């Protein structure tokens, strides 16, 4: 009996802690439902599940796991921390942050995702979600906004990749913006809620959000992050496949060579093979195309260089390059500023090392098309496959369809941007591109 009584008391205490934590979380969900009704479907999709001893919050995109003691400690410190935690984890799912985790540098993606979510929450200006550290966090985000622009996780991640921050700055970011654990952000086939299902939820939120933003006028970051979450993703490697042409190369084509006939001839007729290997074969390789770079003031140099480095890393494989190529890298703002002709891998590498970006004025896409068409008339190209135009999209598009394929490549979605011409293809490059 002496041992059973303390054990029973401990079990009852644990039960009471779990029940209290459940009530606190229920109040937190009610707070979000009252303040942010457009999140009702998302809230209903993410089920709460206790995980005692974990020491925090963590979601896998289907369940939100929590430590009951952690919930009560946070509630005692600031009651607003609970709905804030719930909203933070929920927005990670709505913005599809966990589904991109395996493609990113995880520490940088953790920081970028947390900053994007907290910026969205702060912009909503919900009094019941306010924390003591919000003023400091808003000041930090204001500085980042000047350098990065719209604070989506994708934009912040690209900035962190190109502009490494100090260990002290990383710790500051974690202190101000980290609320939950991302340890369950791993791809799992058995999840009931897939990325596409979360995208459908996000699209519904986009529709319901319009009434909220009209009334409050403070949902810009939420809208931008939703737009990023629901957009179609493209594989840049597959995009470049559109710029391949059939070409003949001098090499042994083993797929067309029959060793049986070859060895039979050598055996029975002396030194006379019945079939010899073909000395050339048809391959699909990049041969002729144009990379146009928008060097207007809004396209920063490090972003352009990251795009060029990614392009080169894809092209330099032997499966993509001919031994001799004819690629033009054209820099342009409101006029053509430079044209660098690339004839081999060494030329591309030299441009990446020493090439200078010029221009930084306004943007007009038409001069590049006029220039490329003039090059074609002069016989510069034998079989020009197409043109990739890397830009922010704020410029004057040509009205006439050219004789080659055109892709306009953007780093992010932007509803303020004019639509691309119907004869061209629009591509939003992934963050890791």
Q: What is the DSSP letter of 189?
A: T
Q: What is the pLDDT of residue 419?
A: 84
**Domain residue ranges in the chain:** 4-230, 236-249+285-428
Q: What is the pLDDT of residues 264-297, one digit of tens each?
A: 555 655 555 544 554 445 555 557 889 998 887 5
Written as six digits, the tokens of 400 are 């006439």
Q: What is the pLDDT of residues 46-99, one digit of tens each?
A: 889 999 999 999 998 888 999 999 999 999 999 999 999 999 998 998 888 887
Q: CA 114: distance to chain centroid?
A: 15
**Is the model more confident about 208 or about 248?**
208
Mean pLDDT over the full length of the chain: 79
Q: For 236-249+285-428, give the CATH class.
A: alpha beta
Q: Are strands 57-59 and 244-250 parallel, antiparallel or unpaired?
A: unpaired
Phi-psi label, residue 210: left if phi above 0, alpha if psi -120 to 50, beta otherwise: alpha
Rounded to whole angstroms, the Cα distance separating 138 from 151 reads 12
The mean pLDDT value for 228-243 works out to 63
User: Do the beta carbons of residue 234 and residue 429 sit within 8 Å?
Assistant: yes
pTM, two decimal places? 0.62
Q: What is the pLDDT of residue 74?
A: 96
% of the chain with per-residue pLDDT over 90: 31
| 253 pLDDT tier (thresholds 50, 70, 90) | very low
The mean pLDDT value for 10-19 works out to 90
| 165 pLDDT tier (thresholds 50, 70, 90) | very high
Q: What is the pLDDT of residues 16-42, one digit of tens each?
A: 999 999 999 999 999 998 888 888 888
């Amino acid at each position: 009996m002496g041992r059973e009584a303390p054990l029973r008391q401990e079990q009852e205490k644990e039960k009471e802690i779990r029940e209290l934590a459940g009530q606190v979380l229920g109040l937190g969900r009610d707070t979000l439902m009252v303040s942010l009704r457009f999140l009702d479907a998302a809230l209903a999709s993410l089920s709460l599940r206790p995980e005692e001893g974990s020491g925090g919050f963590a979601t896998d995109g289907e369940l939100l796991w929590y430590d009951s003691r952690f919930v009560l400690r946070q509630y005692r410190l600031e009651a607003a921390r609970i709905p804030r935690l719930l909203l933070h984890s929920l927005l990670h799912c709505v913005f599809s942050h966990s589904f991109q985790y395996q493609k990113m540098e995880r520490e940088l993606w953790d920081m970028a995702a947390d900053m994007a979510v907290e910026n969205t929450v702060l912009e909503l200006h919900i009094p019941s979600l306010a924390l003591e550290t919000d003023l400091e966090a808003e000041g930090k985000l204001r500085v980042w906004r000047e350098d990065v622009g719209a604070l989506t996780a994708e934009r912040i991640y690209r900035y962190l990749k190109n502009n490494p921050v100090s260990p002290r700055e990383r710790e500051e970011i974690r202190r101000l913006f980290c609320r939950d654990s991302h340890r369950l952000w791993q791809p799992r086939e058995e999840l009931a809620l897939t990325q596409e299902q979360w995208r459908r939820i996000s699209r519904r939120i986009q529709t319901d959000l319009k009434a909220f933003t009209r009334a409050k006028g403070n949902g810009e970051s939420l809208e931008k992050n939703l737009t990023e979450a629901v957009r179609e993703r493209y594989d840049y490697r597959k995009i470049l496949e559109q710029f391949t042409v059939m070409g003949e190369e001098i090499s042994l084509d083993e797929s067309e060579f029959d060793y049986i006939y070859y060895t039979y001839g050598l055996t029975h007729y002396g030194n006379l093979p019945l079939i010899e290997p073909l000395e050339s074969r048809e391959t699909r390789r990049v041969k002729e195309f144009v990379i146009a770079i928008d060097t207007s003031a809004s396209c920063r140099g490090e972003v352009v260089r990251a795009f060029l480095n990614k392009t080169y890393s894809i092209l330099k494989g032997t499966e993509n390059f001919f031994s001799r190529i004819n690629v033009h890298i054209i820099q342009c703002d409101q006029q053509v500023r430079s044209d660098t002709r690339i004839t081999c891998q060494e030329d591309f590498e030299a441009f990446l090392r020493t090439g200078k970006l010029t221009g930084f004025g306004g943007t007009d896409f038409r001069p590049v098309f006029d220039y490329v068409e003039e090059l074609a008339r002069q016989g510069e190209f034998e079989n020009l496959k197409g043109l990739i135009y890397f830009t922010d999209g704020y410029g004057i598009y040509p009205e006439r369809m050219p004789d080659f394929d055109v892709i306009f490549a953007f780093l992010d979605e932007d509803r303020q941007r004019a639509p691309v011409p119907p004869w061209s293809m629009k591509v939003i490059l992934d963050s890791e591109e």
